[in-house]
């Protein structure tokens, strides 16, 4: 498995996004654990989760607990696995997503995540999404405080603009290690954030890198160039997509979500796909 860096930690160039295993339409627990184990078998050492990855109001942290269970029951060595989680989003149980970026909430959420993950310090803690009712400096300041207190080992932000990246970097005293934004063939408006992360040497983690739960399977039908290249190489268009994203910059670490072993195993193979300059140019210009 090829690797990339998040801060001073070496991780697999492809990570695993845990959300599909815990929200609406999720599989049974056994299949989810098998999916995480398959990812580990494939050499994946980055697992992205969040306390808001759950369906019902009374199961906050469902995915964090699932990840902890999968790691504890894995037969191999998990000491090199980086678990990244997030705080600042809430799910009241009616299908909606709400926000609380207050310092008090983030600090309480981090303490709860620590317990669910069963660790003394969270490997990577990310502010999930800006809360328009709370000053951004307060939210990131809470993450800084958690970092200073040793509750988290590394700090990141998610769903951030270029200005917010620079502000967070300043508040964290240059210790911002990652930005997790949506990016895929269907959602390219985070290109400025990706380029800024490349300039600053900050890891860029595309979420929904295949277009999201409902669109990932049909990626090749929607974006013909990805299917054409996939057909020519005898691989899936999803592998082509992840290889295209990896080629954007050495700071890019896609985190495709999965809820089946076969899908994360397919995604993991993207690290072995090297696209030509001509193919990359075609994909860069591909539209829906």
| Cβ atoms of residues 238 and 266 within 8 Å | yes
Q: What is the DSSP letter of 81?
A: P
Radius of gyration of the chain (CA): 18
- What pLDDT, in 10s, does the model give residues 248-279? 999 999 999 999 999 999 999 999 999 999 99
CB atoms within 10 A of CB 255: 23
288 pLDDT higher than 80: no
Q: What does the pLDDT read at residue 287? A: 63
242 pLDDT higher than 70: yes
**Bridge partner list, 124:** 84
- What pLDDT, in 10s, does the model give residues 59-91? 999 999 999 999 999 999 999 999 999 999 999
Q: What is the mean pLDDT of residues 89-103?
A: 96
Q: What does the pLDDT read at residue 285? A: 87
| Cβ atoms of residues 158 and 180 within 8 Å | yes
pTM: predicted TM-score of the whole model, two decimal places = 0.96
Q: What does the pLDDT read at residue 187? A: 94
| Cβ atoms of residues 156 and 177 within 8 Å | yes
Q: What does the pLDDT read at residue 6? A: 98
- % of the chain surpassing 70 pLDDT: 99
- What pLDDT, in 10s, does the model give residues 212-234? 888 888 999 999 999 999 999 99
Q: Which sequence positions are flagged as catalytic?
A: 53
């Amino acid at each position: 498995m090829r690797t990339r860096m998040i801060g001073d930690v070496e991780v697999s160039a492809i990570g695993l996004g845990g959300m599909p295993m815990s929200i609406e339409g999720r599989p049974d627990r056994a299949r989810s654990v098998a999916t995480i184990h398959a990812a580990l078998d494939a050499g994946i050492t980055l697992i992205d989760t969040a306390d808001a990855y759950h369906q019902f109001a009374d199961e906050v942290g469902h995915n964090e607990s699932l990840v902890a269970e999968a790691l504890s029951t894995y037969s191999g060595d998990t000491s090199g696995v980086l678990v990244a989680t997030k705080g600042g989003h809430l799910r009241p149980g009616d299908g909606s997503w709400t926000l609380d970026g207050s310092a008090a909430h983030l600090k309480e959420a981090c303490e709860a995540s620590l317990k669910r993950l069963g660790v003394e310090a969270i490997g990577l803690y990310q502010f999930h999404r800006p809360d328009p009712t709370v000053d951004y400096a307060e939210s990131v300041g809470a993450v800084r405080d958690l970092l200073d207190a040793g509750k988290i080992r590394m700090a990141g932000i998610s769903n951030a603009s270029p200005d917010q990246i620079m502000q967070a970097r300043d508040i964290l005293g240059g210790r911002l290690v990652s930005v997790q934004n949506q990016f895929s063939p269907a959602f390219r408006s985070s290109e400025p954030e990706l380029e800024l992360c490349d300039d600053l040497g900050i890891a860029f983690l595309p979420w929904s890198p295949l277009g999201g739960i409902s669109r990932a399977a049909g990626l090749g039908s929607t974006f013909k160039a990805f299917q054409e290249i996939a057909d020519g190489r005898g691989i899936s268009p999803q592998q082509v997509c992840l290889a295209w994203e990896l080629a954007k910059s050495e700071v890019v670490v896609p985190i495709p979500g999965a809820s089946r072993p076969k899908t994360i195993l397919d995604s993991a193979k993207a690290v072995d796909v090297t696209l030509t300059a001509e193919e990359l140019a075609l994909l860069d210009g591909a539209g829906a």
